[in-house]
Amino acid sequence: MALQSLKQNKEIVIKKADKNSSTVILDKKNYIEQALSQLNDGIHYEQIAISHCTEIYNLIESKVKILHEQSHIDDISLRYLLDTKVEKIQVGRLYLLPKIHKIDLNIRNEIRSNKELLQRVQIPGRPIISLCNSPIERIGQFIDYFLQPIVRQLWTFTQDTTFFINKIERIEAPDNVMLATFDISKDIEAQIQLFREKLQKRGYVANEIDPIITTTMKRTRESTLRYITRNKWKSPPLCFITKFNPRVKQLGKTLRKHWHLISNDGTANQLFQKPPIIAYQKHKNLKEYLTSSKLK
């Protein structure tokens, strides 16, 4: 009942934080005002009288069918690209991810002691456009799949921070060129202590925390800028996927106990040559239950 009441509260908006796993509760009026200010900036967005979604979808549909008739795409691709029902087509949806990491540390500390300050803090939002059920959703995913390998071969391609730093370090700049960046805003010793305190609040003891911190601080810069090589299966394993529940802890043991029934069956033995790996799906957490891109 409490969760349902929170989810149906018309005065608040609940969102996942940008660059953070936190869940943020925002005043709905302020959220809408900020979204409208971004939409009405006159630079990035333009207001139109009609969405033309159906016309755009029909145009894409006709082009895709021509590609199929000319054997440029197969039947599977055709079904994938035209899977969306025209009556469900809608425009893209804008939503904001609150950038709580942009709030000054001093202001955060003041808020901890005085919650009323929250009303005066303007949390900037990162605009995201959800294209779910839009006319270009499927065609965009399809094109992106084939463009990704090509884009990765371009010199300008940057995957993430680690990729970018490694690339920069290989550049031989002329003598009259200096490459520099500076974005340090927090004292590392203070952050380590804060990290230690948070772990202790979760029940970890010092003799578990300190060795990990010591080992981490001894790591070289080069070692932290390497990608982890993950083990790859020669052939995909057979997985038995289920939601985790304390009652199914012995599921793997039970399957192995009765696996001879599969092994002794001529047909099943060819399909399932080894017992499956038990893979547990996590249940929805509060963030997944309460957050949505749709404004209600």
In this prediction, residues 19-43 reach a mean pLDDT of 88
pLDDT at 20 over 80: no
Long-range contacts of 248-257 (CB under 8 A, 24+ apart): 251/278, 252/278
Q: Which two tokens stand for residue 81?
A: 């690209």
pLDDT of the residue at 149: 93
**What would the pLDDT profile of 158-190 be if each residue is shown by its tens digit?**
888 888 888 888 888 888 888 777 766 667 888
pLDDT at 140 over 70: yes
pLDDT of the residue at 189: 85
More confident residue, 118 or 281: 281
pLDDT of the residue at 56: 93
**In which band, very low, low, confident or very high, does the pLDDT at 151 lie, cut at 50, 70 and 90?**
very high
**What would the pLDDT profile of 1-16 be if each residue is shown by its tens digit?**
777 888 888 888 889 8
| Local structure of 46: helix, strand or coil | coil
pLDDT at 86 over 80: no
Buried b or exposed e, range 256-287, using 16+ CB within 10 angstroms: eeeeeebeeeeeeeeeeeebbebeeeeeeeee
Asked if 136 contacts 56 with a C-beta cutoff of 8 angstroms, the reply is yes
For residue 208, the Cα-to-chain-centroid distance in whole angstroms is 30
3-state helix, strand, coil in the chain (%, to 5): 50, 10, 40
Domain residue ranges of the chain, discontinuous segments joined by +: 2-152, 158-230, 239-283
Average pLDDT, rounded, for the chain:
86
| Local structure of 257: helix, strand or coil | helix
pLDDT of the residue at 238: 82
Asked if 86 contacts 54 with a C-beta cutoff of 8 angstroms, the reply is yes
How much is the pTM?
0.67
In this prediction, residues 60-83 reach a mean pLDDT of 94
Q: Mean pLDDT check: name the lowest of 205-209, 228-232, 240-244.
A: 228-232
More confident residue, 221 or 193: 193
**What would the pLDDT profile of 119-138 be if each residue is shown by its tens digit?**
778 888 999 999 988 999 99
pLDDT at 84 over 80: no
pLDDT of the residue at 234: 66
Considering only CA atoms, which of 241, 260, 237 is closest in space to residue 251? 241
- Residue percentage of the chain with pLDDT more than 90: 27
| 265 membership: H or E segment, kind and range | none
Distance in angstroms (rounded) separating the CA atoms of residues 196 and 46: 48
**What would the pLDDT profile of 258-289 be if each residue is shown by its tens digit?**
999 988 988 888 888 888 888 888 778 878 88
